[in-house]
Chains A and B, each alone.
Chain A
Amino acid sequence: MKKQFLLSSLMVLLVVFLAACSSSESSETEAEAEASTGSGNESETTDNSESKAKQVVTFWHSMGGAGQEALNAIVESYNSSQDEIQVNAEYQGTYDESLTKFNAVAGSDSAPTMIQTFEIGTKAMINSGQIAPIQEFIDADGYDMSGLEENITNYYSLDGTFYSMPFNSSTPVMYYNKDAFEAAGLDPEAAPETFEEIIEANKAIAKANPKMKGFALQAYGWLWEQLLANQGALLLNNDNGRSETPTEIGWSEEEGKSIFNWVKQMVDDETFANYGTNGDNMVAGFLAGDVAMFLQSSASSRDVIDNAPFEVGIAYLPHPEEKERQGVVIGGASLWMIDSKPEEEKKAAWEFMKFLQTPEVQAQWHVGTGYFAINPSAYGEQVVVDAYAEKPQLQVTVDQLQDTKSSFATQGALMDMLPEGRKIMETALETVYNGGDVDEAYNTAVEQFNAAIQKANAARGE
């Protein structure tokens, strides 16, 4: 009897388990979205009952880790600084996940008042018809945007109109292990600047320490875009999609292949560390002394410097020897206003956006994360001055941005298929990392990239 009872209860458990298995996968995202919007509503209502006059602003963001801590601190200080507006910051996962959720609730009551979206989502957001351009609020308020960093406003202003408010911006930089440079007899204060110099430095490092690889390039489409822009190459035609909708790729074969050939050379030299598409593994490898140099967003600089058991150097993004350095495209994200929300709520969100641009907040943000200060006067704040005195590397990221020459190439591309384009380039890079043929990988990638552009244009149905 006992055994039978055990067996039957086991069966019941199994059935429950099976049911949970089959349904969890498909409905996970929906449930998540529901849960998050549900919790959002809950907090709204409780906040309302606490102080009935407060205007609630729901703010969806994608800042995890150190960024989330810094952002929460800023939101808290804003909420306690005045008693008219209550900002509820809600973490919604990565930019991709957050956008997916937003598309599901757009136009309904569950939609947030403002949402943080990555730079390559700019065109898709404008095309979505769900957003209110920030320019409306700038004009109504007489707000002066010229105080903001020029290279950043260049990206987000289209024909002189701001659609979204820049917020967290970063650029790629090269991190290097100064101790390893010294051990290899290289000057730790003069990091290699060109592809060719890196190849040479790699050899020296490998000679001094056969266990250490010289260079790592994460297979990450964003880095590919940056390496192109640094040569002055366009990603898309029609001025990177800024004068007209792009119809094909904008870079030349020479410009595109220079990156592939550079990587190929390092792979052949066996000085290249392949971490695939995984950025965390790459940073862990760098910290463990497995690789001496890597490219990564300046937003990680705080993390890397604090966690490395050796001296970390930060340098400009490399470029091919025969090309002049053009600088970098601004990466990161901006804040979007959702059109379907009541006027009062949008005004409150606008107030919060303005608060985020003040030098004090930007200084705190810059030092806490490694993202840029959107407002350059933040660099004069005492917190920043102190941080630079302690960690002078942080300043390199700012210098690189300010040395950038403004052109269509460094303004960055606008198109709604850019996330797909990144995946295509990542696959191509991985092919070369694993010893694939450069010409074949390159040609396939270009073909797929062009097809993706055409498909995106067709899907718009214009």
Chain B
Amino acid sequence: MSMTKPMPDALEIQEINFESVKRKQRVKSFTKGMLFLLPSIVLFGVFLFYPLFKTMYLSFFLTNARGETTVFVGLQNYIEMFTSPIFHQSMKSTFLFVLYTVPTTIIIALLLAVLANEKLKGIGFFRTIFSSTMGISVAAASVFWLYMFHPSIGFLNRILNLIGLESIGWLTDPNWALIAVAVTTIWMNLGFTFLVLLGGLQSIDSYLYESADIDGAGYFYKLRRITIPMLSPTLFFVITVTIINAFQTFGQIDILTQGGPQNTTNLIVYSIYREAFSNYQFGTASAQAIVLFIIILVMTIIQFKLGERKVHYQ
């Protein structure tokens, strides 16, 4: 600005032109960019943002059976939710469930993947077997486990009886039900997690191992110093996806326990479903959905902040 002072007229005109051209260009490139983004913005808008805002809106109302708003209640749905022992139980179960399933799934899958990564004769057969649960639908797997857990004619209780132990009410005992559902979930998720981890293992360059071999490194040293660090992006991806999946568990709950016994397996997504479609309280359900949204959002942010530091991208 100070430069323009001596010759105000000419320079000022130039500068205005410059500014407006710049602005025009910016608008132009912005519109261009928006045009390119339009398809995804429209899709996101219709399928994600609109439902999200609608959910927020609904959470401040009471509704009739068709989900139409009837009475504005402000934050009452939230207050009721946070004071409700059923919701507390639901949150507790959800976090416990995540704790039971995520580490177990990943550790077992990693173990299997490391084993299946060995170049042995007939390893393809084992790779197929280990990843086979990926091809089974939630419904089929749950029904299969439902029979395994049957109190009197189920396979698991027969084994227990055979070795002289008492039968366990897998799905009816509040101490066991969540574990039973977790076992089912781990079994179901194993195939997918295994496959992703195996893919990650196979993409590690073999020259790293070769030079380690030359240096005389042992098997576990290589595992700790090469395999795990090189696998970290895949592990990071698997952890994020598994956690989100665990929070959103629904199918197996619906088939195995319907949230019982005593609400111990009433995980948050099932609780939302029940509030909305069996109690027709869409307001309460929406409030719970918002809580779930915030939890997953926070978890993901934390993971990215922590993960970025630890993950080694090649």
Give chain A's interface residues, CB within 8 Å of chain B. Answer: 3, 7, 10-11, 14, 17-18, 21, 25, 96, 99-100, 103, 106, 124, 127-128, 219, 273-278, 281, 284-285, 288, 290, 416-417, 419-420, 423, 426-427, 430-431, 433-434, 436, 444, 448, 452, 455, 458-461
Contacts and interface: CB of A to CB of B under 8 A. Distances in A.
B148 to A, nearest CB: 12
Most buried by A among B67, B152, B251, B263: B152
A278 B172 CA distance: 9
Most buried by B among A10, A124, A452, A459: A459
Contacts, number: 113
21 contacts: A17-B134, A17-B192, A25-B248, A25-B250, A96-B277, A100-B277, A103-B66, A124-B280, A219-B260, A275-B151, A277-B257, A284-B153, A285-B151, A420-B278, A423-B278, A427-B263, A434-B172, A434-B173, A434-B261, A434-B262, A459-B281
B196 interface: yes
Contacts of B314: none
A21 B138 CA distance: 11
A10 B197 CA distance: 12
A284 B150 contact: yes
B258 interface: yes
Given A7-B202, A417-B279, A433 B67 contact: no
B23 to A, nearest CB: 40
A18 B134 CA distance: 11
Interface in B208-249: 241, 245, 248
A275 B278 contact: no
Nearest to B198: A10
B171 interface: yes
A119 to B, nearest CB: 15
Interface string B172-186: 111000000000000
Interface residues of B, number: 45
Interface of B: 62-67, 70-71, 73, 85-86, 134, 150-153, 169, 171-174, 192, 195-196, 199, 202-203, 241, 245, 248, 250-251, 257-258, 260-263, 274, 277-281, 283
Given A100-B277, A103-B65, A288-B153, A431 B262 contact: yes
Chain B binding surface, main DSSP class? loop
Contact of B171 (A17, A276, A423, A452): A276
B281 A7 contact: no
A430 B151 contact: no
B67 A103 contact: yes
B193 to A, nearest CB: 12
A455 B260 contact: no
Given A17-B192, A276-B171, A430-B260, A124 B65 contact: yes
B195 to A, nearest CB: 7
Contacts of B260: 219, 276-277, 426-427, 430
Contacts of B195: 10, 14
Contacts of A458: 62, 71, 73
